[in-house]
Amino acid sequence: MLGFPTNKTLLRDCTDGKKVKGLRRRNKGLKAKRTVSTLILSKNLIEIMGNTSSMLTQYDIEEVQEHCNNTISQQEIVSLYQRFCQLDRNSGGFISADEFLSVPEFAVNPLSQRLFRMIDGLNFKEFVAFLSAFSSRATLQHKVEYIFKVYDSDGNGKVSFSDLLDVLRDLTGQFISEQQRELVLTQVLEEAGYKKDSTLVLSDFMKILGNSGLKMEVEIPVD
């Protein structure tokens, strides 16, 4: 099987000096090929990662990728690590909400305060996991779980009408009145089969957003 000698063949070969030497040469050849492959892979990673990410090993990359259920490619992980190092000004291995404020897209986002609550104090692995919800390879379940966390401000696993209204208030600002917001939200809930006093859990969000053609994707630049 797979070109490996059977036990009987191996025992017979071990009594034959010429064949033993042949096997040794063959093994050395395989080891040499593996070594060359490893060196080429390492060289490519170093070239991709550059000086700013030299502390990120192939093992680290694969571990982060597995943690994100392979929704982020290895090259994307390297690019995100470079960005992470830029944000982590004190090189503590964690990113604070204040450091995220240096990213203009987050600073002007109407939901920035809610997002900061979710990202404050993240290490690199958690940082990538947080962003993986925006990957085109992320499942609908993953994306809905992310949205649910944005609404679930106190982290109790439940979203009330008040929680929904708070997010809608952040999104609309002064463009519509409070009365209009409540009217719109009540109508959306009723169309989905819920009432104003309903408490929603994750499965309810899946029911509401499951067939909505949800699009939530951001392209990660890869050098």
Residues facing residue 95 across a β-bridge: 122
**CA 72 – CA 134 distance, rounded (Å):** 10
Three-class HEC string of 15-31 = CCHHHHHHHHHHHHHHH
pLDDT digits (tens, 9 = 90+) for 80-89: 999 899 889 8
Torsional class of 173: left (φ above 0), alpha (ψ -120 to 50), beta (otherwise): left
> Which of the pair, 79 or 45, is modelled with greater confidence?
79
The candidate with the shortest Cα–Cα distance to 209, out of 164, 162, 160, 143, is 143
Res. 141: pLDDT tops 80:
yes
Two structure tokens written together for 149: 């966390």
pLDDT digits (tens, 9 = 90+) for 162-174: 999 999 998 888 8
Q: pLDDT at position 199, please?
A: 94
Contact of 158 with 200, CB cutoff 8 Å: yes
Helices 140-151 and 161-172: crossing angle in degrees, nearest 10, is 90
Residue appearing with tokens 């694969």? 62
Per-chain mean pLDDT for the chain: 75
Contact of 219 with 137, CB cutoff 8 Å: no
Give this prediction's pTM.
Answer: 0.66
Res. 49: pLDDT tops 50:
no
Q: pLDDT at position 200, please?
A: 94
Mean pLDDT of 126-146: 90
DSSP state of 4: P
pLDDT digits (tens, 9 = 90+) for 198-212: 999 999 999 888 766
Res. 22: pLDDT tops 60:
no
The pLDDT-based confidence of 44 (bands split at 50, 70, 90) is: very low
Single-letter amino acid, residue 215: K
The pLDDT-based confidence of 43 (bands split at 50, 70, 90) is: very low
**CA 199 – CA 189 distance, rounded (Å):** 11
